[in-house]
Amino acid sequence: MKDRIISLWKSNKSFVLFLALMFVFRSAIADWNEVPTGSMLPTIVEGDRIFVNRMAYDLRVPFTHVSLVKRADPQRGDIIIFDSAAADLRLVKRVVGVPGDVVAMSDNSLIINGKPLSYIDSMSADDINITDINITDIEITEDLLGVEHQIRIQREPGELANFDAVIVPSDYYLALGDNRDNSSDSRVIGFVPRDEIVGRAKHVVVSLDYNNYYMPRSDRFFKTL
């Protein structure tokens, strides 16, 4: 039996080492993450596989959340991937509040450090007031203090569309889904601890259309987020 094991190892050690290195690479350096829900619409759609830069913020011990070297901190506007203990899931959300920020929301309009954000109708490129929109489900541009991105909201604000001013604690972040009325984010699970964040996403790798027999969406391959 021992001889057989030794023989199998000699015959397959290159493949085993390749697999081990691949797992270490995906755990500590770069990975991809499937997005099965629409909580980040319109930025990320169901079926996108996003590239996760695991070294964006920390160099970690493989297969752990233990940081060996802190490389950077998440910034407002970053799309982060984190292993949420509160949700017991890996989640993808956008950072809207960094440590020390005072953040509030009124009818889906964010106020950060006392400054109401600007919202632009992408169709007319004019400044708009969310409460003046007369259609049910819309996509608009949010200016996140210099970081512009698309969000989706409903004409009639849902139960998550408002919260009183909160101060983001040290080593925590406030993260929201871009699909504001359909996202379980910091409004549900609380602030995101810094040590739960495993990486940052800036690109889609590939995308499969769940509603069309998982056919590839070639127009989303390598799309910048």
Give catalytic residue positions: 39, 93
Residue 222 token pair = 């390598």
Q: Under a CB-based contact definition with an 8 Å cutoff, are residues 204 and 221 in contact?
A: yes
Separation CA 197–CA 174 (nearest Å): 12
Cis preceding linkage at 42, omega within 30? yes
Q: Residue 21's Cα: distance from chain center in Å?
A: 26
Separation CA 216–CA 177 (nearest Å): 24
Sheet holding 137-144, edge to edge: 118-120, 137-144, 147-154
Separation CA 86–CA 204 (nearest Å): 26
Separation CA 169–CA 64 (nearest Å): 24
